Every structure is written in C-alpha cells, then in structure tokens.
Structure 1
Amino acid sequence: MPLNPVASPRQAGRLNVIAGPMFSGKSEELMRRVRRAKIAGVNVLVLSHSLDTRSDLSAITTHDGINIPAVPVGDVESLAEVTRAEDYELVAIDEAQFFGPDLVPVVFDLVERGATVIVEGLCVTFDGGPFEPMPTFMAEAEDVLKLTAVCTICGRDAVFHQRVGTPGLSVEAWEPSATDIDASHVGGLESYVARCREHFAPPH
C-alpha cells in the first residue's frame, strides 16, 4: 500500500542585490526587473521608504522622472507587516539602506519562505564607508549587480558619491553623520555628485 503523499516544504527563494552609488541607475534596473516579472504574471510587491519624498510617495521615481507604483512604509516593522498580507512571489525593496540593519532578518525570512527578494540601495555612504544593510546583503545574495556612476570631473567610473560642500570641511561640521538616516540623505544633483576614486574628497 503506497504511503500517503506528504507535501514538501516550499523551496527557499533567492536574494538579488542591486547596489552602487547615487546616479548609477539602480532604480532603473529595479524597475526593469519588476516590469519583466509583471509581464510574466508574477505576484509582485514593490516597497519604498516613506522618507524618500522626492516624488509621489506611492511610486519609485528615478532622477530622470521615470516611475512605477510602490507601497511606502516608514520602518522595518511596517514593511514586514505589508509583506505578510499576501503570498508574494517577488518582493522588491527600493533604497534599502534607509531601513537600516534591522531589515536583514526580515529579508532573509522572506527568502526562506520562498520569495525572490530584490534589495536595491546605496552600498557606500557619502563619506566613503560601507552603508549597511547593503554590504551584508551583498555577502549572502545569490546574485549581486554592482553599478557605477560617471565621475562629474573626469568621466570615469564612479564608485562614490559625495555631498556638495566646502572642500576640507571637518567631519564634525557635517550633520547628520553619514550613517544617520534622515531627510538630508535624500537628494539629487543639487546635493550630491558622483566621484571616481581619484576625485573623491570625503569630509575629513
């Protein structure tokens, strides 16, 4: 007599990372993947941080003005609650650095539950340091796309971005710090510029 079939547990998902400095095309790449998934009939959830007020809170918008609908959330707890509303196959998180290190266990839990998760964000701060949680995600992801911008001085690949300010300004004079998350981290060409390694001038 055959044994009763036992339902196998859901296969673990995948973690995909899109990282780089400002102006490197991270949001455009996230949008491209989301659009492809929707065309394929995948159940997709797109999340953004409500701190990013550069455009309509219910959309992710690139520096060029291209956008896609998104659900804005203000913290990791709210993000986790939204992801539990449905059995999403793909969860895309824009500007993941705004959520801080507490985002890591939530993302890994989604992956273990079978979802493909795309995290997109800055892997480096404006003073050139690692910007968690992106480095942690990059270390454990199945797929990592590291993008570069274009240095506004020489045109070479830019792996950094820096605030527009007075050269030689001391670190103490820059408020808040590079890893404190507030509205000062949201900006465009009026606040930040892309720099290659040679021309990057951190506020030391």
Structure 2
Amino acid sequence: MTALPDWMRPPRAEGWFAEDLDRLPEAPRHTELIDGALVFMMSPQRWWHGHLVTMLTVALMEQAPPNARVGREMTIKLDQRNRPEPDLLVTTAAFEGDRTWFTPEEVRLVVEVVSPESAHLDRTVKLRKYAEAGIPHYWLIEDEDGAPVVHVYELDEPTRAYTPASIARGTLQRSVPFDIALDLKQLTPPRRT
C-alpha cells in the first residue's frame, strides 16, 4: 500500500474547510467538500450523463431571463464544512470570471443527474443539505431506460425541507425559477436497438 499524497491530508484536526478547496490544485476535478471530508468521483463519467448535462445547460440558457445565469461544475459554499458541486445550477450572481463558488442565496435552482456512484449523495445527503441552506428549487434527474426523468422539488420555507412538486417524463413545464419548457426527449440521443 502506498502512502497518501500530502495534498490529501487535512490541514487541521477538524478536517477540511470550504476555502481549502481553492488551495488544492492537485485534487481531481469535481472534488467536493461534504461534512469536512473531500469527496471525488474516480469512476469515468458516462456519456449519457455528460450529454444530458450539456444539452440541459444549453436549453436552460436559451430560456433564462437576463437576471439568471446557468452554470455547471461550480461549487456552492453551503457553510464552512460543505461545498458540493452540482451538475448544473441557476444563479442570480453577476458574472465574475475568477469566481470558484456561489452562496446559497445566489442560487435559485440546483440540478443533479444521478449516476451509480453519486446516487446516495444526490438522493439523500445533497437533497437535505441544499434544502437546509435555503436553495428554493432542486431537480434530481434519473435515467429511466435511457430517457431522463426529472424529480422536481420545491423548498418548504418553514421546515427547510424539500417537498416533491412533480415528476416529469417526456416534457417539463415550470414557472419557477423562471418560465421553463423542456422536451426531455431532445436532451439525450436515441439509443440504438
């Protein structure tokens, strides 16, 4: 067994803090901080996942109003010990080229596309953490025989928990966080038979 590289050792006994992610150039892409621990997915990304995120990003960018921006692969600093990186987000923050994270108050929608290695985090841990941070809208996208199924959640402010708003197959129409109309079948290429 080989020794851990120095960059993987927490800088303090309490573990990692949100600012530490910006000082880890050796860390793999898409490294997240969950409860003070570094989390990174080492398995290769599936083509379905990457294609879906790209197509959804473009579709939402085309429909977003001027005060909303769509981004991907950006972290959200939920608190000092949590800085997850959703697959996609909608923010009201002004564009700043050197920025590496957003605050929960700047994020209107978080989208996670479930993959086998992220399923537990996306369906339970992140669902709870994004809600507790006050992010108003959460979409969880599952692969159902090659077709995207969007589980739409809205924040219940008094409890700081998400409540299911809808499950979309085929098409998705929402009026929040802005008017959105998506043909979900157009987000993924048809599978060969």
- Relative to the length of structure 1, the TM-score reads 0.32
- The structure with more strand, counted as a fraction of residues: 2
Structure showing greater relative contact order (alpha-carbon pairs closer than 8 Å, 6 or more residues apart) = 1
The alignment's TM-score, normalised by the length of structure 2, stands at 0.33
